[in-house]
């Protein structure tokens, strides 16, 4: 049987999704910083959805560590985010033949990670502005202010979780094998015996 060389485009599509998220994230943050002053809040849909300009020195949704420390307050999350982005790129390469939604989810997560990494590296703080009211629970009256990058990461994680819980694994005849070189996956169709 002649080995089937897989299409390499899905890898670039993953990075295209990431790039779109990074661009949208940075443009919206620039708009907020240019047109609003810190802590200003503008109602969009009554009090339920507002634009609120805050700067977050910690993780997504206001989680903070070392925020009072001069060095760690800025560089701890920058280093962690950089390491996570490198790990994601490695994982994307490893999972490049997975199903489309899974690959798209990885692109969303990488884009979100890089979007916030840019803020942390350049400014030491992440710009957040999406302010949404939620039913009072867990002691919160409003959801912590977030941004496009945070949304992309959450959406990517939701998609991956859904696929893990509710989609069936690939059938045995769809599993990829190598042709001996270890590089080129060969799709086993189950019809080799008829050739």
Q: Which residues pair with 51 in a beta bridge?
A: 42, 130
Q: Which residues are catalytic?
A: 128, 150
Pick from 124, 127, 130: which is nearest to 145 by CA? 130
Q: Taking the CA atoms of 85, 86, 87 and 88 in sequence, report the sign of the dihedral they define.
A: positive
Q: Determine phi and psi for 114, rounding to 5 degrees.
A: -70, -40
For 54, list phi and psi in degrees, rounded to 5.
-130, 160
């Amino acid at each position: 049987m002649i080995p089937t060389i897989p299409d390499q485009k899905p890898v670039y599509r993953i990075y295209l999704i990431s790039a779109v998220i990074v661009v949208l994230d940075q443009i919206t943050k620039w708009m907020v910083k240019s047109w609003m002053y810190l802590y200003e809040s503008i109602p969009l849909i009554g009090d339920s959805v507002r634009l609120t300009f805050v700067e977050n020195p910690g993780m997504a949704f206001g989680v903070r560590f070392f925020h009072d420390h001069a060095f760690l307050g800025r560089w701890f999350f920058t280093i962690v985010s950089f390491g996570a982005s490198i790990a994601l790129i490695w994982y994307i390469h490893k999972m490049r033949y997975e199903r489309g939604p899974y690959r798209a989810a990885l692109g969303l997560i990488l884009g979100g990670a890089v979007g916030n990494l840019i803020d942390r590296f350049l400014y030491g703080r992440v710009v957040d502005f999406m302010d949404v009211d939620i039913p009072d629970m867990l002691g919160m009256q409003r959801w912590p202010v977030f941004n496009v990058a945070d949304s992309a990461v959450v959406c990517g994680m939701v998609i991956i979780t859904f696929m893990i819980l509710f989609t069936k694994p690939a059938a045995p005849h769809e599993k990829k094998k190598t042709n001996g070189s270890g590089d080129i996956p060969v799709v086993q169709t189950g019809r080799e015996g008829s050739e």
